[in-house]
Amino acid sequence: MKKLSIPAFSLSRQITHNKTALLNALEEVLDQQAFIGGHFVTRFEEELATYLGSTYAIGCNSGTDALWMALHALRIPKNGIVLTTPFSFIASSSEIASHGAHPVFIDIEHDTFNINPQLLAAWLEKNAYFEGKTAIHKATGFPVVGIVPVDLFGQCADYRMLHDIAETWNLWIIEDTAQAIGATYGEKKAGTLGSIGAFSFYPTKNLGAFGDAGACVTDDPILAERLLQVRHHGRKAGYDYQELGINSRLDAFQAVALSQRLPLLDGFNDRRRAIAQQYAEAFSALNNLQLPREIIGRHVYHQYTLLVRDASGKSLRNELEQYLTSVGIHTRIFYPQSLQSIPFLNTHPALATACPVATMATESCLSLPMWPEMTDEEVQAVCAAVQQFFMQPILETHAQV
């Protein structure tokens, strides 16, 4: 096979294509010297809220800060229990722990990799009871206060079931939608399906800045006011400090870059979906792969992630990864570790859970190149290489490594 050079992700073509517009936008900030806050940030916040169909959007420094701010705005109590997914970037649970609260990991669905609502409901039925209007964990006496689902790889979690559970148990929902901007669930866009939606605009995201950036969105005016306050040292105005906060401001350079790129987002996502379709057609006959499928709403394929296993269930992920690397196709592993296995996230022994599906996924998942500027020729080259790997002589050779 001809030696290739296809990165797992690249911004080079996008930047080249949009460089003039981006430089003009950045020059406008320099000319006006409005670097922190100001109308460039306000403009992007308004544009984001309009795009999402949300009432309020509050920019901040990162997706991690967005999660921290959301938890703080909802007044998460010390020792509060929050149910979340073990198969995600660490921020979805570390920010719970950073508040002196407890992430409890509920295993994922096999097909979507998102938190499994049926297991979540079963955990509550087994482990919680009501004391007044508050759900209480039987073994510890800690309050169960919320759910943090993650819209993983570009597909929304099952919010119909999650909302039913939240209503039954009087829980709030923070939607971690760092990977799914532009995805939809019914008539609503990702990020608008919880009390607060938390966004990341890290450069590799479907809508990326050129540095760290994030946002919270909500329809609740009280939560919006608290988010605005907490991102700016907890002060309401001037030197009127109301509570402990942080310094998490979206700077104007990132805001204008995001404003310039937001109108392109749906086109970028359409291209991701077209690439996913090409992959799906090429791999449909390969028995050793579980392909991502559009099961809930509109998938925007932040990643195109395969489960790679033989008929006995043995992972072939490492062998496929090595083969693709050898022919110049770069891949990524999201995620190599299930979060319930990280010691400092296991905050209380009575709250430990087993997550076998998530553990299996960490051993078998491989993400193929996925970025909007990939050419059809590059996509087909990836398809051909994966198909070539699964031709019996190559598969046998690599399975013995």
Place of tokens 């930047």: 15
Q: What's residue 392's pLDDT?
A: 61
Over the chain, what is the mean pLDDT? 96
Residue 313 belongs to domain spanning: 265-399
Sign of the CA dihedral with 11 first, then 17, 20, and 24 last: negative
Q: How does residue 238 score in pLDDT terms, banded at 50, 70 and 90? A: confident
Q: How does residue 401 score in pLDDT terms, banded at 50, 70 and 90? A: very low
- Dist. CA 244–CA 295, nearest whole Å: 41
Say if residue 239 is in the same domain as residue 350: no
What pTM value is reported for the model?
0.96
Say if residue 258 is in the same domain as residue 290: no
- Number of structural domains the chain divides into: 2
CATH code: domain of residue 304: 3.90.1150.10
CB atoms closer than 10 angstroms to residue 400: 7
Say if residue 236 is in the same domain as residue 292: no
Q: How does residue 397 score in pLDDT terms, banded at 50, 70 and 90? A: low
Say if residue 254 is in the same domain as residue 201: yes
Lowest mean pLDDT among 33-42, 195-204, 211-220: 33-42
> 13-38 pLDDT, tens per residue?
999 999 999 999 999 999 999 998 89
Q: What's residue 3's pLDDT?
A: 76
Say if residue 51 is in the same domain as residue 156: yes
Say if residue 94 is in the same domain as residue 221: yes
Say if residue 205 is in the same domain as residue 352: no
Say if residue 181 is in the same domain as residue 288: no
How many Cα atoms occupy the beta-carbon half-sphere of 205 within 13 Å? 27
- Dist. CA 98–CA 238, nearest whole Å: 28
Domain boundary among 238, 264, 290: 264
Establish if 51 belongs to a structural domain.
yes
Establish if 1 belongs to a structural domain.
no
> 165-187 pLDDT, tens per residue?
999 999 999 999 999 999 999 99
Say if residue 28 is in the same domain as residue 147: yes
> 45-101 pLDDT, tens per residue?
999 999 999 999 999 999 999 999 999 999 999 999 999 999 999 999 999 999 999
Say if residue 225 is in the same domain as residue 289: no
